[in-house]
Structure 1
Amino acid sequence: MYKILTLNNISPKGLDQFGHEHYEVASEMSQPDAIMVRSANMHDMDIPGSLKAVGRAGAGVNNIPIDAMSERGVAVFNAPGANANAVKEMVLAGMLLAARNIPQAWDYARQLEGDDASVHKQVEAGKKKYAGFELPSRTLGVVGLGAIGVQVANAARLLGMRVVGYDPHMTVNRAWQLNAGVEQAVSVDDLLNRCDMVTFHIPLNDHTRHLINSDRLHNMKRGSVVLNFARDEIVDEQAVLAALASGQLHAYVCDFPSNGLKGQDRVIALPHLGASTSEAEENCAIMVGEQLRDYLENGNVRNSVNLPEVILPRAGKSRLAVMNRNRPDMVGQISHVLGQSNINIVHMVNESRNGIAYNLIDVEDEIDEEAARGIAGIDGVLRVRVL
């Protein structure tokens, strides 16, 4: 019986992945095997020794202590791309709202007073203040060409925009999906110098915090638009407010309201709606539920943020999953323990990522407790599971 603890409301379609008799799912339980989470902060949470995996029903994992989980041999999964369409739509909406000054014009229209003739006269007199620009005449810069960034870039191309992208870590798979007309920038600064609008689809870390600052804003085209549906601290808020006041920026569109942004005429701040659709929540929950179930039952790793991808079809009578520090001779020591127990290896895979290695080993016979304890006792082994 596997026990799944939910820290937030998770879509029932995601929880349906654990619908058979081998699983117990609840929002309160002790000694869970796995946790499903959306936005709950896990940094101050006591991590039970039973925990084997955490599934984040979304893409960002800033609310999960990744390093601490790795030290405890806990795999952490997310759902990249499951909410990509929802965020893409918000970026496109944000571009249109900013380009056509729609929030300001709507607010103006809502405050008109008088009879119909008076209202019509005010409309004709005031509409010139809200004249905007069309997207096909503009260049969009996309920083981060993962699942979301690629969809945004492709959609902007279909709208007739010129698109410049930058991502030094772009995968081959994403490159195949990218519209051939998207141009490549050699750096963030190169991209910013070439675009009229810029959108970010990158994680928040020490390298990306305040990626948009006063110097970079100063070097952008006058009247540019910054869109931030990634993380609030990627953009230096005070620098943006100064650029808006000087006219260097036409608008700032983001998903992260704050006291500093409230009431600013050229700020469109939405209440973190990027992935807030029923479809996105279902897609994220289903994806992470499938990944957790496959990891718990078969040891396979898909979309983990702290383990390498390892997918191995079953072969043999029993399977061993070993998570360890990536050190010389670890595979040799594990094989030696199995050999001492007269356990023959049928098939195995060993992969590593960021100092952590993961092994899936299929063997001919049952793995006894003595062999499992022997492997667990090897210096550097973080977690051993017999599946």
Structure 2
Amino acid sequence: MYKIQTLNHIAKCGLAVFPEERYEITENETDPDGMLLRSYAMHNIDFSSNLKAIARAGAGVNNIPVDKCTERGIVVFNTPGANANAVKELVLASLMLSSRNLLEGIQWAKTLQGQGEAVPKLVETGKKEYVGTEIKYKKLGIIGLGAIGALVANDALALEMEVVGYDPYVSVETAWRLSRQVQRAMSVEQIYATCDYITIHVPLTQQTKGMLNGDAFRLMKKGVRIFNFSRGELVNEHDLAQAIEQGIVANYVTDFPNDNVLHMKRVISIPHLGASTYESEENCAIMAAKQLKDYLETGNIKNSVNYPNVELPYAGQRRITVAHENVPNMVGQITSLLAEVKINIADMINRSRGNWAYTLIDIDNHLNKDLRELERKLQAIKGTVAVRII
């Protein structure tokens, strides 16, 4: 029986992925095999020695101590692409929202309450104050062509925008999805200097933190509109305020309001609604649950943020999983130990990711050996952080 602890409300369709006869799901489990969460802050949690994996029903994992998990062999999953359509729709809505002065116009129209039959004439007289611009034929720059960026690019083309994208790490899968009409920028500076609209879809890292700063704003066209549905910290807010005052940034639309941006003019603050659709929450819950279930039952890894993706078809045979440091001779030591105790390898795969690696080994089922002793010996190999025998 596997034990799953939920740290946030998870959609029922996601929890339904776990068969009741094999899984126990509770909010108060103290020794879980797996954890399932959304935005719960985990940095102060003491993990039990039994914890094998954490699945985040969403893309960002800033709320999870990933490095700590990696060092203990705990696999951390996220759900890239599960909420991509929801975010894409809000980006497209924001393109028009910022261009047509809709919010200001709506707020002004409400001030006409009580004017009776004079309202239509007042509307016709006052509407000139809220003249906007069309997005058709304007140039949209997309920084980051992952699941969301690619969807935004394709749909913006359908709206007859000129689209240019920058992503030095674009995946083969994304390349297949991306329209050939999307122009390729050779540098992020090219996006800054040439685009009327800029939307950013990159993860928050030490390298990307504050990437939209004074240097970036100085390269931009006057009147540019910027959209941030990734992370608030990607933008240097002090420099943003100056760029708005100087007329460089006509509008900044963010899904991550804080007290600083709420005090700024020309900022549209959306209360983190990018993935807040019923469909998105259900998609993320199902995807996270399936990844967690597959890992617990087969050892296969898909969409991990700290270990490589590794998949070996599982037919119910005995399987050994080893999470270890990516150093020379680790695989050799593992296979030598199996040979020493006369265990035959039926199939195996090894993949690495940075300083860490993961090895899956299928062995013969017909064994009269104490596999607990084998697990202990594998764990004793220097550089090994977690061993499972399924």
Give TM-score, length-normalised by structure 1. Answer: 0.98
Tell me the residue number matched to 2:379. Answer: 376
SS across alignment from 2:103: helix
Tell me the residue number matched to 2:35. Answer: 35
- CA offsets 1:103-135 (integer angstroms, 9 cap, x no match): 111111111144333222321221111111111
Tell me the residue number matched to 1:386. Answer: 389
1:315 Cα shift? 5.3
One-letter code aligned to 2:303: N
One-letter code aligned to 1:380: G
Whether the aligned pair in 2 keeps the contact of 1:315 and 1:363 (CA below 8 Å) is: no
Residue 210, structure 1, aligned to residue 213, structure 2: no
- CA offsets 1:247-288 (integer angstroms, 9 cap, x no match): 211111011112222254411101100000010000001001
Identity across matched positions, percent: 48
Tell me the residue number matched to 1:61. Answer: 61
- Distance in 2 (CA, whole Å) between partners of 1:126 and 1:247 is 24
Q: Which runs of 4+ in 1 moved over 6 A?
A: none
Paired residues for 1:226-375 under 5 Å: 226-262=226-262, 264-314=264-314, 317-365=317-365, 366=367, 368-375=371-378
Whether the aligned pair in 2 keeps the contact of 1:316 and 1:364 (CA below 8 Å) is: no
SS across alignment from 1:384: strand
Whether the aligned pair in 1 keeps the contact of 2:344 and 2:363 (CA below 8 Å) is: yes
- Distance in 1 (CA, whole Å) between partners of 2:351 and 2:228 is 35
Paired residues for 1:81-230 under 5 Å: 81-230=81-230
SS across alignment from 1:260: helix
Whether the aligned pair in 2 keeps the contact of 1:315 and 1:346 (CA below 8 Å) is: no
- Distance in 2 (CA, whole Å) between partners of 1:113 and 1:319 is 71
Tell me the residue number matched to 1:74. Answer: 74
Whether the aligned pair in 2 keeps the contact of 1:316 and 1:362 (CA below 8 Å) is: no
SS across alignment from 1:48: coil
- Distance in 2 (CA, whole Å) between partners of 1:228 and 1:48 is 37
SS across alignment from 1:141: strand
- Distance in 1 (CA, whole Å) between partners of 2:28 and 2:186 is 49
Give TM-score, length-normalised by structure 2. Answer: 0.97
1:356 Cα shift? 0.8
Whether the aligned pair in 2 keeps the contact of 1:323 and 1:383 (CA below 8 Å) is: yes
Mark the runs of 5 or more structure 2 residues left unpaired by the alignment: none
- The number of aligned residues is 387
Whether the aligned pair in 1 keeps the contact of 2:244 and 2:265 (CA below 8 Å) is: no
- RMSD in angstroms over aligned alpha carbons? 1.2
Whether the aligned pair in 2 keeps the contact of 1:104 and 1:265 (CA below 8 Å) is: no
Change (3 A) 1:248 1:156: same
